[in-house]
Chain A
Amino acid sequence: MTAKQLMLVARQTYKTRIKSVGFWSLVLAPMLILLVIAGISFIITATQSHKTPVVGVVNEPALATYLKKDDAFDIKVKNVTDEKQAKRELTKGKLDAYLATANQKYELVNSADGQSVSETKMKASLNTYTMLAKASAMKLSPTELQTLMTPPTLTTKVQSDKGETRGGAAADTANYALASALGILIFVFLTSYVSMIAQEIANEKSSRIMEILLSATSPAVQFFGKLTGIALLAITHAALYVVAGLVVNVFAPHYKYLKMVKSLLAGVDMGFAIMSLLLALVAIFMYMVLTAILAAMVNDQSQVQQAVAPMTYVAMIGYVLTFTLSGQPHNTFLNVLSFVPFISQTLMPARLGLQYATMGDAAIALVLELIVLIFLSRFGLRVYKRNVLTYSDGNITKAALSSLKGLFVKTKD
């Protein structure tokens, strides 16, 4: 197997794929989805009859003045002399709500069909207002008032049996959120690239170009060359997203979703991120190798889906199981599955994110993946060689079974 030919095959695969509509629609799909979501939320916001609510304050001119000055609270304030008048104006729709006071108790009366007034904000404003009123009654200095108003600080740490992590609940949520997001990403990546490599091989096999290619090279060159090409394509794909993220970061640093992602990522610790990515990457290679083997058994294009479907199902199992994970730190079944290659790529990061597993556990899962990858590549090459020029007229299940046998029978490679 010559390295030069390997690179040629990889380059050819990469070049034809990167020019294809399929690749770019795959790249753009998430962006399109984001655009659609952004568009819909924009339309909803634009068409909302969003007016500033008008709140009547019954017979409390000082409070009314304070509320008017409160910038954080987006309301229009109107002085009303008594509750009767307030009620009348509320029914007429001139007020959206009114605030009445009786024995140090406040009552906010909302109109059913008016603009809503935030209860939380109202509480906060009233809180500060009464505090200020009491402070001035006690004749406190501004510094004393400042001290009084400073809230206590609380930092959280989690002491679990897996060791202490900083960041506490925030990091937990971030890690878990990342693991779930990664789950979706891995699933989409996996299924797309799996079908891409299947098409690539099936196309050459069914058009009989494979014979020409193999006359100049070897099955090993074809097998690993194609995998390298598609792997490079996947890396390009990921790089495009990073670049897109950076571009948004530079030109629109206040973009809502970017902020969301940033604040989410801020909570993630590096070790976890790297481990998750490694697990995912090795898993993608594993799936690709397995697909290449299956695709070599295909006789024509129409069987591609048949060959790829099992891959998708297995990938889906790993993905769906992550949802059952929460609150089940000691479920033996899930714990064992999280080490199983082909499933571990989503399950292990999720367990890691929830602190149900240690980095050591994840490392074991990674090593298991690597072992399977090496095994698959070595023995897959044999199966590939056996099948890639065999055009059986039976179905591919039969071909698969006879190849399984071939896995354990030594042939010349």
Chain B
Amino acid sequence: MIELTHLNKQFGDKIAVQDMNMRLNPGEVMGLIGQNGAGKTTTFRMILDFIEPTSGAVTWDGHAITATDKQRIGFLPEERGLYQKLTIEEQVMYFAELHGMKRSDAKSALVDWMKRLDVVGKPSDKVQKLSKGNAQKVQLIATVIFEPDFLILDEPFTGLDPVNTELMMQEIMRLKHEGAMIIFSSHNMSGVEKLSDQLTMLRHGETVLHGDTNAIRESFGRTEIYLESPATDAELREIAGVKSITPQGPGRHLQLTDAAVGREVFQLVAQDGYVPVFAQQPPTLDEIFRREVQGGQA
């Protein structure tokens, strides 16, 4: 289990990360969500011991992360990099060996991986000849070829084409099922929801939301209604507690101040005994993110 307790980082008088707490168990995925400058990369750097926390601790199964532990960590940095002049094989071998993998094992694993991810080219091709998409795949292979127990991915989806985004998601799910602890960061919510067991939303280094993905949503209550009904906007607006009405697809999206208001809305639209669509839900994580993280900017 990875545990961050009261983790703080200050650069001069600037607070980059403030009182961060989290627990990550084998087979769990944690999404660290926040806008640029929220403190995601800084958090990873503290976990990896690149920089020292101002206070607080990072532990793996109760002890500080050792050199041997580090070999079990797969890390994909925010700014990707490969040795341009090496071949794919030399490149991946080197990283694999640094992680304690045997050369012969790494060699055969690489061939499998390249086949599985559909990398165009041979292991003996130079990295600089690779297309951007293929370079991204090779970078992913280099990060996970040794089957890490703990995977840290800094903005793994940024800059990926749709095909590679899908591959990345599949890999994350595969490693999760094999029992790895995974933490990744993202500056938006797209696609993150179905991937994460837990979420931590950061704003200016401060944790604004933290916990189980479904619990976060539910904690906001079912304050959203998607409606397809002949009732007019004016009629709906008369109900106290309807905050906003926005057109959405063939219907409308209503925001409520309180989940209980939903009952009144239903009574109005079901007056004649029939309503085509009435769905009362908690806000999506996207909405929560916009409200809590982006909205809170000002």
Contacts and interface: CB of A to CB of B under 8 A. Distances in A.
Contacts of A411: 52
Nearest to B94: A12
Contacts of B95: 212, 216
B77 A208 contact: yes
Contacts of A2: 67-68
Given A215-B48, A215-B70, A411-B52, A209 B99 contact: no
B141 to A, nearest CB: 12
Contacts of B143: 212
A312 interface: no
Interface in B40-93: 45, 48-52, 67-68, 70-71, 73-75, 77, 79-86
B98 interface: yes
Contacts of B68: 2
Given A16-B85, A218-B67, A211 B94 contact: no
B77 A218 contact: no
A9 to B, nearest CB: 8
Contacts of A412: 52
B76 to A, nearest CB: 8
Contacts of B49: 218
Given A5-B98, A8-B97, A216-B98, A211 B50 contact: yes
A343 to B, nearest CB: 36
Contacts of A215: 48, 70, 73-75, 77, 152
B70 A217 contact: yes
A12 B98 CA distance: 11
Majority secondary structure of chain A interface residues (helix, strand, loop or mixed) = helix
Nearest to B41: A211
A389 interface: yes
Contacts of B79: 208, 211
Contacts of A389: 45, 50-51
A184 interface: no
A213 interface: yes
Interface in A1-20: 1-2, 4-5, 8-9, 12, 16
A325 interface: no
Given A12-B94, A389-B45, A389-B50, A216 B77 contact: no
Dominant SS at the B interface?
A: loop
Given A8-B97, A217-B98, A212 B50 contact: no
Interface in A366-413: 389, 411-412
A8 B77 contact: no
Interface string A191-229: 000000000000000011101111111100000000000
B142 interface: yes
B105 to A, nearest CB: 15
Nearest to B83: A209
A216 B71 contact: yes
Nearest to A216: B98
A9 B81 CA distance: 17
Contacts of B84: 207
A216 B52 contact: no
B152 to A, nearest CB: 8
A215 B84 CA distance: 20
A412 B50 CA distance: 11
A258 B97 CA distance: 45
Contact of B77 (A1, A9, A12, A212): A212
Residue in B45, B85, B94 whose Cβ sees the most chain A Cβ within 10 Å = B94
A212 B70 contact: no
Contacts of A213: 98
A207 B83 contact: yes
Nearest to B71: A216
A12 B86 CA distance: 11
A211 B45 CA distance: 9
A215 B71 CA distance: 8
Residue of B49, B68, B81, B99 contacting most chain A CB atoms (<10 Å) = B81
Given A5-B98, A8-B98, A12-B94, A214 B48 contact: yes
Contacts of B67: 1-2, 217-218
Contact of B70 (A16, A207, A208, A218): A218
B246 to A, nearest CB: 42
A358 to B, nearest CB: 46
A207 B127 CA distance: 13
Nearest to A386: B51
A216 B83 contact: no
Contact of B86 (A9, A16, A211, A217): A16
Nearest to A20: B85
Interface of A: 1-2, 4-5, 8-9, 12, 16, 207-209, 211-218, 389, 411-412
10 contacts: A8-B94, A9-B98, A208-B80, A209-B81, A211-B50, A212-B75, A215-B74, A216-B71, A217-B67, A218-B67
Given A207-B82, A218-B49, 11 more contacts: A12-B94, A209-B82, A211-B79, A211-B81, A215-B48, A215-B152, A216-B70, A216-B75, A216-B98, A216-B99, A217-B70
Shortest 9 CB-CB distances between A and B: which pairs? Answer: A215-B75, A208-B81, A207-B81, A211-B77, A216-B98, A208-B79, A209-B81, A389-B50, A216-B99
